[in-house]
Amino acid sequence: MRIDTQPVQELSPHVQWPLPQGVVDLVYQDAASKRELETALRGCFRAWSYDELIPPSFEYADTLASEAGTQLAEEMYRFTDRDGRTLALRPDLTIPAARVAATRLHDQPMPLRLFYIGSVFRYEAPQAGRQREFTQAGIELIGAGAPAADAEVLALTVEALRTAGLAQFQLALGQMAFFHALLAELEAAGPALHGLQSALDRKNPADLAAALDQLAVAGPLRRAISALPELQGGPEVLARGRALCVNDAMAAALDRLSAIHELLLACGVAEEISFDLGETRGMEYYTGITFKGYTPGLGFSICSGGRYDDLVGHFGRPQPAVGCALWVDRILLARQRQGWQPAPLRPDLLWQTGACPDCLRLVGQLRRRGLRVELDLGDLDLEALRARAAGQGAPRVALCAGADAVMLASAGAAPRRLSLEQFAGEAATW
Amino acid sequence: MVESLPLAASQHADPSRLVVALPKGRLLDEARGLLAQAGYGLLEGDNGRQLVLPSAAPHVRYVLAKPSDVPVYVEYGACDLGIAGLDVLREAQRDLLEPLLLPFGYCRLAVAGPAERAGRPLRLEPNPRVATKFPRLTEAFFRQRGVSAEIIELSGSVELAPLVDLADLVVDLVQSGQTLADNGLAELRVILHSQAVLVANRAAWRLKSQAIGAFVASLRDRSSVGDRPEL
């Protein structure tokens, strides 16, 4: 093994710390792969008749924090404008979408179908798979409360993950309405519930039992809550959940999941979705279904979504809504680990034109046709030009050879002298 | 023969294969028996220095890690499951599932001080210097009591600190209390009752649910349900 003994290049004193923690520069293949994925997702969302929303990067902190939930509000980057008002970088894009829907699009025919692709900012301790600036691509279906709307968002999420090129993935679908209806039976609130929810979140049966002891929960209610961590798997989970219902709201929440499941079967995406009625974490604004997606090779979720019927009303006329956000950077990482090969970044042709107007005109034509043509700005001879092309992976080089003549050298072949017309004819086949 | 990267690639892709992180040291010695009874016993190599070991079940591999690193391996998904002490888990605060408590590794995380001060309430200490390997739990314990403690993080032999006047108190794991007594220290408060816990990665829990379910179930069947000490 060769050990790199080169000293780190000395930095200018202005960039002793070139970047804060939690942000990255993407160049070359990494930047290209990300843009290409975003373009593919944009195409997918548009095909489902979703329109793009581009909200501002920062807003009033109060607007963003109002419904974001305490966890998200704590993680916002805040700063003040010259009037002394507190602004914040958006910590997610669902809240701006809800604000736009309620304040500007409230008189449009419902439902609204919006998508977005952009950076979000969270000031959080760098930990597994988290950056402080990262990209979310998401969809919001606003003004539709039916199970069909839930199913559409789930099916589109599956389609988007397939479009992204992931080898395999799984969405775990929960139902906050089921859990909330169960909690409504407990005459407890706030801190007393915190231990319960934390134990459920970690699927820790001993902590769950201790929390239930503390709340003095017994009988069918205790049986139902204790069973939550086990209520995961295929559609048979719904039947098992039904046996534990202690009120009508719980039964209604399961009926809704059954209806959604029927629709997912019809859409051909039921294979990718499993149920987990014990999945109770996530954004505090979810009121119905919630889901998270996972793919092999990555230890954390690649997307999360759910129904949030109370959020839009916070900014104006209430509307039921359901949506999902994909974590673009994590999908890129997972795809790479699954062996995804990005298309190489290389010129199709390296050309030394000098100041020859005929050559330059042809360069323009080839570029407009979509070929990637790089000019050599120096005065390399043919040999040096070929060496440089080999280093870049460019398959061929050209060199102006006087009036109406070009030397063309393809990789591994002898150079040939061509007229510009012959050259253009051959380039048409690349 | 040391297995390296190919282990990760092949094992992660196949939902029927599991990689399990085990803590080197005391907890591992106690885990061996249970794993063997459950049909997942460790198959040791010749030299005892291997870090990746096969198990009696062909689809399960073990990775031997430093105990405090186990939660990290599992959170990142480098390992699907792991065995760690509750003390290590609560100190690390990693985002993990904890589907099963295991019947070994019992100990307690306690505040201890010189034997002669045992009677005085901790909350009357104005600014105690506390030596510990568990800075997060120690800080939380004193903060909850309104005491501004100076946390001195050490990586070993914490009970030495009061002897050389590096610290007034220590927070450390206690099993029998003999080490404390030998150094003239007495246990003052219990912060946490600890035992071994089986932890799981959230993604693996979904993607390898069958293999993980079988592993958890067979360990659960062999773990007698003992009383959990009060926290």
pLDDT given for residue A390 in this prediction: 94
- Strand boundaries in B36-159, DSSP class E: 52-54, 60-65, 81-85, 97-101, 107-114, 129-132, 150-153
Please report residues of B whose CB lies closer than 8 A to that of A129.
Answer: 76
Cβ–Cβ under 8 Å, residues A299 and B202: yes
Between A and B, how many CB-CB pairs are < 8 A? 73
Are A79 and A47 found together in one domain?
yes
Number of structural domains found in chain A:
2
Answer yes or no: is B230 within a domain.
no
So what's the ipTM on this one? 0.86
- In this structure, how many other beta carbons lie within 10 angstroms of the beta carbon of residue A28? 9
Mutation choice for A interface testing from B207, B212, B224 by most A CBs within 10 A: B207
- Whether residue A13 is preceded by a cis peptide bond, meaning omega within 30 degrees of 0, is no
B118 pLDDT higher than 60 = no
Are A151 and A281 found together in one domain?
yes
Answer yes or no: is A216 within a domain.
no
| CATH number for the domain harbouring residue B186 | 3.40.190.10
Predicted TM-score (pTM) of the model is 0.90
Of A128, A209, A296, the CB nearest to B207: A296
| CATH number for the domain harbouring residue A158 | 3.30.930.10
Decide if B201 and A299 are in contact by the 8 Å CB cutoff: yes
The CB-side HSE value for A40 (13 A sphere, CA atoms) comes to 18
Are A376 and A299 found together in one domain?
no
Are B148 and B207 found together in one domain?
no
Please report residues of B whose CB lies closer than 8 A to that of A205.
Answer: 99-101
| CATH number for the domain harbouring residue A373 | 3.40.50.800
pLDDT given for residue A3 in this prediction: 62
Answer yes or no: is B228 within a domain.
no
Pairing of strands B196-200, B81-85: antiparallel
Mean pLDDT of successive 10-residue segments in chain A (430 residues)? 62 75 92 96 98 97 78 89 94 94 95 97 77 96 97 98 93 94 83 86 93 91 93 94 94 97 96 92 82 93 95 93 97 92 91 92 95 92 93 94 91 92 92
pLDDT in tens, A308-317: 999 999 999 9
- A61-to-A66, A87, A215, B228 alpha-carbon distances in Å: 8, 5, 36, 45
Neighbouring residues of A287: CB distance < 8 A, sequence distance ≥ 6? A176, A177, A180, A307, A308, A309, A310
Number of structural domains found in chain B:
2
Residue of B nearest to A127 (CA): B94
Are A272 and A317 found together in one domain?
yes
Report the C-alpha dihedral over residues B57, B2, A294, A211, rounded to 10 degrees: 60
Answer yes or no: is B229 within a domain.
no
**Closest chain A C-alpha to B207 CA, distance in angstroms:** 7
Which residue type does A93 have?
L
Are A330 and A356 found together in one domain?
no
pLDDT given for residue B47 in this prediction: 66
Of B12, B15, B95, the CB nearest to A128: B95
Cβ–Cβ under 8 Å, residues A297 and A277: no
Decide if B99 and A203 are in contact by the 8 Å CB cutoff: yes
B4 pLDDT higher than 90 = no
Neighbouring residues of B33: CB distance < 8 A, sequence distance ≥ 6? none
pLDDT given for residue B231 in this prediction: 38
- Domain hosting B176: range is 107-194
B204 pLDDT higher than 80 = yes
Are B35 and B95 found together in one domain?
yes
Q: Which of A337, A364, A392 is the last residue of a domain?
A: A337
Q: Which of A313, A337, A361 is the last residue of a domain?
A: A337
Query: What would the mean pLDDT of B25-49 be, rounded to a whole number?
Result: 87
Per the structure block, which two tokens stand in for A43? 């195409």
DSSP-based three-state secondary structure for B19: strand
> Higher confidence at residue A189 or residue B35?
B35
Per the structure block, which two tokens stand in for B35? 């794993």
- Domain hosting A404: range is 349-427
pLDDT given for residue A280 in this prediction: 83
